[in-house]
Each structure stands twice: as C-alpha cells, then as structure tokens.
Amino acid sequence: MGFVALVANLAATYAETFRGTGSSYLLRQLDKIGFVSHPSPSAGATKSVPSLFSLTDETALMGLLYYGTYLGAIAIGLAVWAESKKASTLYMAAGFIVGAAAMTCFNFSIGMLCAGVGAAALFWIRKTNRS
C-alpha cells in the first residue's frame, strides 16, 4: 500500500511538472486513446456551471495526489497498528517508510511530521510492550 501511495504521488507531481498549468495535455492523450467522447456537431454551445465530476487535468492530478496521500497515511497507520498487535513488522516497517515518503511528496512538512509522530508512536509502543 505504501509503494502504491509513493508511485501515485510521484506520478502526480511529475506529470504536473511537464504538463504545465492550464494545459489540457492529459485530456488530449485520453482523447487519442478514445476515452473522451466528442460533442455532437449539431449541438450548440452552452454555458453551465461545471459539474463536481468534471474531468480536467488539474482535477485528475489532484485526485491522484490525494489518493496517494490517503494511501500513505493508511500505510503509516497500519504499521503502527501492526506494532501494537505485536505482528511481524518486516513488511509493515517498509510500508511505514514508503508511506512517509509518499506523504513527503505531497507536502514536505506534513510528511516529516507524520514520520516523526509515527516513529514516536512506534517507540512508545515498543517501550510499553517490553515493560
């Protein structure tokens, strides 16, 4: 889960850097593949309020970034939960590290805060389990 979060956040931040603000690069690529339907030639131009589910490059990239951040937070939470249940923490430790890295891709301060709070929680859980 942490790996998927990291890949999603890296893909979103990388796509944002080469795409540029205000362009419709991703929408044109989806149009080439055939995922976007063309408007009817007989239909007239209408002006309406954008839908909540409108697909633009910005909404797609922000959705991917938030999805990756959500998965990163879940990976950190699962690592802390597995440690509290005294489960095998080999994969959970890797998930914690990669989840914190995914959070850092979203926002450096939030990522470092999550890593620090998560590490402190893990140390506290291990200390109380030994006592």
pLDDT value, residue 96: 83
Residue 43 forms part of a structural domain: no
* Domain, as residue range, for 63: 2-34+56-130
Separation between Cα atoms, residue 124 and residue 62, nearest integer Å = 35
Number of structural domains in the chain: 1
Closest CA to 98 of 77, 75, 65: 75
Please give the torsion angle defined by the CA atoms of residues 13, 15, 18 and 19, in that order, rounded to the nearest 10 degrees.
Answer: -120
Give the pLDDT mean for 97-104.
86
Kindly report the three-state secondary structure assignment for every residue of the chain: CHHHHHHHHHHHHHHHHHHCCCCCHHHHHHHHHCCCCCCCCCCCCCCCCCCCCCCCHHHHHHHHHHHHHHHHHHHHHHHHHHHHCCCCCHHHHHHHHHHHHHHHHHCHHHHHHHHHHHHHHHHHHHHHHHC
Q: pTM of this prediction?
A: 0.68
Q: How many CA atoms lie within 13 A of 106 on its CB side?
A: 26
Separation between Cα atoms, residue 26 and residue 130, nearest integer Å = 53
Residue 51 forms part of a structural domain: no
* Residue in this structure with the two tokens 């506290």, named with its chain if needed: 124
Residue 25 forms part of a structural domain: yes
* Whether residue 127 has pLDDT greater than 80: yes
Residue 88 forms part of a structural domain: yes
Residue 39 forms part of a structural domain: no
Give the model's confidence band at 106: pLDDT under 50 very low, under 70 low, under 90 confident, else very high.
confident
Residue 123 forms part of a structural domain: yes
Residue with more model confidence, 22 or 130: 130
Q: Give the tens place of pLDDT for each residue, 64-81.
A: 888 888 888 888 888 888
Residue 76 forms part of a structural domain: yes
pLDDT value, residue 16: 75
Chain mean pLDDT for the chain = 79
